[in-house]
Amino acid sequence: MNQILEIDQRNMTATVEAGLVLSRFHRTVEKMGLFYPPDPQSMSVCTLGGNVATRAGGPRGVKYGTTGNYVLGMEIVLPDGTVINSGGKFVKQSVGYDITHLMTGSEGTLGVITRINVRLIALPPEHRTIVVTCESPEQAAEIVAEIIARGTVPAMLEYLSQGAVGLMNNMISPPLAGDADAYLLIEVDGNRSQVDYDTAVISGLCKEMKSRDVRVIEDEREAASYWRARSNLYPLMLTIMERVISEDLTVPRSMLPEMVRMVQEVSASTGVGIGLGGHAGDGNIHPTILHFQTSPELDEKSQVAIGELLKKGLELGGTISGEHGIGIHKSEFLAWELGEVQIELMKRIKQAFDPLNIMNPGKIWPEGGECRC
């Protein structure tokens, strides 16, 4: 089930089978001047079915939104084998409950998605990459919050730590001077005048806020090398770390400076190394627990650190997952964000779809166990 069944240029939609790998879909539509923006960084291996099931996002979320913004309809096999179709190729629908978007993010707990209709948009004609070297992680977060507050919307706005740039330098040509604590990797896109305007606004603002350096990358191959390295950051980390746990906390963007401070405090108070990296533009700078070696003692301390990060992230008005979903790993924390009433409601929805509880039992909320309250 990995085929592109249709690309309908007149309607700007595509119909695909759920096992289609995302990067293949990107390449195919982009050759036709079309654009499917959702870009989880696992794109060379993940499938559109998995993207829909987890409501995945990526760097382009800041401007273009995530998978949920592009799903128009789907074919679903219900747990008893019945096949239903929800939504369609139309761009709006107001007919009863929105099953399409209930399935989007349902993590395989309600049914199997077999076919998906998605919305396409026109491929932006121009792109430009800007690299900002910041004096500190706090300054980087303040610049991100200010870019958003001024109404400029980059296509991608990623936060990179010194450690991340050190690893990415293996893939970047020429390498960045890796001596700063924090960097921002930004792409603006659109027509030429929009790209020139956004570049001028962002560069001016970074200078005004006294960042250490702003570089507009003119060479397309050099720019592509930055983004390729960014996509490979997680596997690059695994070349030197024994374990990497990427948390998915997302906060309102004005709270990013507080989030950066909070993560540093949790790291200091728990004695667990926690890096930051990722989609700053949409408030989703993943706090990432880094273990050069593993031990039961470190695992225990990490669990404490994860609990602290999530609790404090919620206090900042955030959510415990911006794009990865809850799965098993975060299920014990679900009640902190949703409360018992919403979880009960979700359990009743699951019961209606899957009365025998055969679809991914134990995902989203602990099977037979308790959420932390």
Ligand X SMILES: Cc1cc2nc3c(=O)[nH]c(=O)nc-3n(C[C@H](O)[C@H](O)[C@H](O)COP(=O)(O)OP(=O)(O)OC[C@H]3O[C@@H](n4cnc5c(N)ncnc54)[C@H](O)[C@@H]3O)c2cc1C
Q: What residue is closest to ligand X based on CB?
A: 50
Question: How far is residue 290's CA from residue 242's CA, in Å, rounded to a whole number?
Answer: 8
Q: Write out the E strands in the chain.
A: 4-8, 13-17, 34-35, 71-77, 83-87, 112-119, 121-122, 126-134, 156-161, 182-190, 213-217, 243-246, 274-279, 284-291
| 26 touches ligand X (CB under 6 A) | no
| 112 touches ligand X (CB under 6 A) | yes
Question: How far is residue 333's CA from residue 365's CA, in Å, rounded to a whole number?
Answer: 9
| 157 touches ligand X (CB under 6 A) | no
Only one of the segments 43-51, 122-130, 150-158, 292-300 lies at the binding site for ligand X (rule: CB under 6 A); that segment is 43-51
Half-sphere exposure at residue 228, Cβ-oriented, CA atoms within 13 angstroms: 11
Instruction: Work out how close the CB of 54 gets to ligand X at its nearest, in angstroms, rounded to a whole number.
Output: 4
Q: Using CB under 6 A, pick the residue from 58, 124, 283, 313 that binds ligand X.
A: 58
In this complex, which beta carbon is closest to ligand X, that of residue 19 or of residue 204? Answer: 19
| 350 touches ligand X (CB under 6 A) | no
Q: Using CB under 6 A, pick the residue from 47, 86, 161, 250 that binds ligand X.
A: 47
In this complex, which beta carbon is closest to ligand X, that of residue 54 or of residue 211? Answer: 54
Q: Using CB under 6 A, pick the residue from 14, 16, 18, 184 that binds ligand X.
A: 18
Only one of the segments 28-36, 51-59, 168-176, 264-272 lies at the binding site for ligand X (rule: CB under 6 A); that segment is 51-59
Q: CB of 313 within 8 A of CB of 336?
A: no
Interacting residues with ligand X between 305 and 334 (CB under 6 A): 323-324
| 123 touches ligand X (CB under 6 A) | no
Q: Using CB under 6 A, pick the residue from 13, 15, 54, 250 that binds ligand X.
A: 54
Q: Is 229 exposed, middle or buried (0-12, 13-18, 19+ CB in 10 A)?
A: buried
Instruction: Work out how close the CB of 92 gets to ligand X at its nearest, in angstroms, rounded to a whole number.
Output: 24
Only one of the segments 49-57, 85-93, 208-216, 260-268 lies at the binding site for ligand X (rule: CB under 6 A); that segment is 49-57
Instruction: Work out how close the CB of 372 gets to ligand X at its nearest, in angstroms, rounded to a whole number.
Output: 21
Q: Is 253 exposed, middle or buried (0-12, 13-18, 19+ CB in 10 A)?
A: buried
| 46 touches ligand X (CB under 6 A) | yes
In this complex, which beta carbon is closest to ligand X, that of residue 98 or of residue 219? Answer: 98
Orientation angle between helical segments 256-270 and 296-315, nearest 10 degrees: 150
Question: How far is residue 234's CA from residue 102's CA, in Å, rounded to a whole number?
Answer: 30
Q: Using CB under 6 A, pick the residue from 13, 51, 211, 288 that binds ligand X.
A: 51
Instruction: Work out how close the CB of 242 gets to ligand X at its nearest, in angstroms, rounded to a whole number.
Output: 16
Number of residues that bind ligand X (CB under 6 A): 24
Only one of the segments 35-43, 132-140, 178-186, 311-319 lies at the binding site for ligand X (rule: CB under 6 A); that segment is 35-43
DSSP string covering 137-188, please?
A: HHHHHHHHHHHHHTT---SEEEEEEHHHHHHHTTT-SSPP---SSEEEEEEE
Question: How far is residue 56's CA from residue 321's CA, in Å, rounded to a whole number?
Answer: 10
Q: For strands 121-122 and 112-119, give the pairing.
A: unpaired
Question: How far is residue 221's CA from residue 227's CA, in Å, rounded to a whole number?
Answer: 10
Cα–Cα nearest to 312, from 260, 363, 357? 260
For 33: left if phi > 0, alpha if psi spans -120 to 50, otherwise beta; the answer is left
Q: Using CB under 6 A, pick the residue from 17, 34, 57, 99 that binds ligand X.
A: 57
Question: How far is residue 216's CA from residue 225's CA, in Å, rounded to a whole number?
Answer: 14
Instruction: Work out how close the CB of 231 gets to ligand X at its nearest, in angstroms, rounded to a whole number.
Output: 8
Tokens read off for 275: 């890096």
Instruction: Work out how close the CB of 288 gets to ligand X at its nearest, in angstroms, rounded to a whole number.
Output: 11
Instruction: Work out how close the CB of 102 gets to ligand X at its nearest, in angstroms, rounded to a whole number.
Output: 12
Chain residues binding ligand X by CB under 6 A are 18, 40-42, 46-47, 49-51, 53-54, 56-58, 107-108, 112-113, 234-235, 323-324, 360, 363
